[in-house]
Amino acid sequence: MNSPNNILLAFEPVLQNDGTPEGFVVSLLNDCPDPILFELDFFAGGVKRFGKKGKLDAGGYSELGKMQYDDLNEFPEAKVACWKIVKDGTSSRYAKDMRIKPGVFFSSLTPVAPILHRQAHVLTLFEGLSAERKKNHAEDLKAYTQRKAPPVRQWHESANDDRSQHEVREAADFSIELDLHIEKLVQGHEQLSNAQILQLQVRVFEAYIEKAIRLGMERVFIIHGVGEGRLRNTIASSLFRIPEVITFKNEYHPKYGYGATEVILIM
């Protein structure tokens, strides 16, 4: 399990005062030499607890969410898909539905988990991906020189692979910040009236929030500045009407001051 070139799922215990775990911080570990794109949804009792998609660098990890201790009795399951990012694009899609069995889970406790370097329960999602990549590279080269079809993809695939892969790439490149200052949006803004500026800012905001919802973003920051508050209030009015918005707030932030609204979205 601890050999390199694996994609791992780690569960770090969150301990109570008496030393017993109340839950586990769940992380995805990329113990491969290539960065990956990933999407993961975690369920317990048939209910989605959390989900995340994005890019994970080689030798890196990403915190996904928290699993409660009692969730182990609710048939927890992780649905995962990933693609290696290689020189000429991305690899085949690797997908797995992992049902987490308590017996296996508790026997997987590792004193020093890979990458995290601290205690965690570690389960292997995919193994030997680096070796598979080298093998496929040789096969692709042979296929090219002989003008044959590329090798058959491995693991489970669906008809929506290309679309899903595109969406994960979009999510990885998506910025969680939108700066609506007019000089960031258009050149020659001096020729625009205040009404035209506001109209443009609102159009950009609406397109951005629509894309954030489609890509399953958890939170975004809309940078509108302070000023007289007209743009901020227009954005707030719009957010009230969007069903996918859980909540939003314009409070002091160490990076933005009072010049940005934080939006929490349904994943």
CA proximity to 180, closest of 260, 238, 255: 260
250 phi and psi, to 5 degrees?
A: -120, 80
In a domain, 166, yes or no: no
Give the CATH number, domain containing residue 178: 3.30.1370.110
The CA–CA distances, whole Å, from 253 to 52, 131, 181 equal 24, 46, 18
Rounded-to-integer distance, Cα 144 and Cα 152, Å: 14
**Under a CB-based contact definition with an 8 Å cutoff, are residues 120 and 63 in contact?**
no
Cα 34 off chain centre by: 17
Q: What pLDDT was estimated at residue 154?
A: 42
In a domain, 158, yes or no: no
pLDDT confidence of 165, banded at 50, 70, 90? low
pLDDT confidence of 246, banded at 50, 70, 90? confident
Distant-in-sequence, close-in-space partners of 41: CB < 8 Å, separation ≥ 6: 48, 50, 51, 78, 79
Q: What pLDDT was estimated at residue 160?
A: 55
Task: Give 179's strand partners.
Answer: 223
CA angle 115, 6, 97 (to 5 degrees): 115
- The structural domain count of the chain equals 2
In a domain, 10, yes or no: yes
pLDDT tens digit sequence for 105-161: 999 999 999 999 999 999 999 987 654 444 444 334 344 334 333 333 344 444 455
Task: Give 63's strand partners.
Answer: 27
The mean of the pLDDT values for the chain is 83
Q: What pLDDT was estimated at residue 266?
A: 77
Task: List the end-to-end C-alpha distance of the chain, in Å, as a whole number.
Answer: 31
Give the CATH number, domain containing residue 53: 2.60.40.1600
Rounded average pLDDT over 10-37: 91
pLDDT tens digit sequence for 171-222: 788 899 999 999 999 888 888 999 999 999 999 999 999 999 988 888 999 9
Rounded-to-integer distance, Cα 74 and Cα 78, Å: 13
Q: What pLDDT was estimated at residue 253?
A: 86
Distant-in-sequence, close-in-space partners of 36: CB < 8 Å, separation ≥ 6: 7, 30, 55, 56, 82, 83, 84, 85
Rounded average pLDDT over 18-45: 91
Q: What pLDDT was estimated at residue 187?
A: 85
Q: Which domain holds residue 24?
A: 6-145
User: In terms of domains, do 30 and 120 share one?
Assistant: yes
User: In terms of domains, do 130 and 190 share one?
Assistant: no
Q: What pLDDT was estimated at residue 156?
A: 45
**Under a CB-based contact definition with an 8 Å cutoff, are residues 133 and 86 in contact?**
yes
Q: What pLDDT was estimated at residue 171?
A: 79
Task: Give 62's strand partners.
Answer: 28
Of the residues 145, 165, 196, which one is the last residue of a structural domain?
145
Greater confidence (45 vs 142) lies with 45
In a domain, 160, yes or no: no
Determine how β-strand 21-31 pairs with β-strand 36-44.
unpaired
User: In terms of domains, do 132 and 188 share one?
Assistant: no
Q: What pLDDT was estimated at residue 191?
A: 87
Q: Which of 16-25, 82-91, 132-141, 247-256 shows the lowest per-residue confidence on average (mean pLDDT)?
A: 132-141
Rounded-to-integer distance, Cα 218 and Cα 245, Å: 10
In a domain, 249, yes or no: yes
pLDDT of 167 > 80? The answer is no
Q: What is the DSSP letter of 196?
A: H
In a domain, 199, yes or no: yes
In a domain, 234, yes or no: yes
Q: For the chain, what percentages of helix, strand and coil (3-state, to nearest 5) are there?
A: 30, 35, 35
User: In terms of domains, do 85 and 208 share one?
Assistant: no
Q: Which of 89-98, 107-116, 139-148, 253-262 shows the lowest per-residue confidence on average (mean pLDDT)?
A: 139-148
pLDDT confidence of 163, banded at 50, 70, 90? low
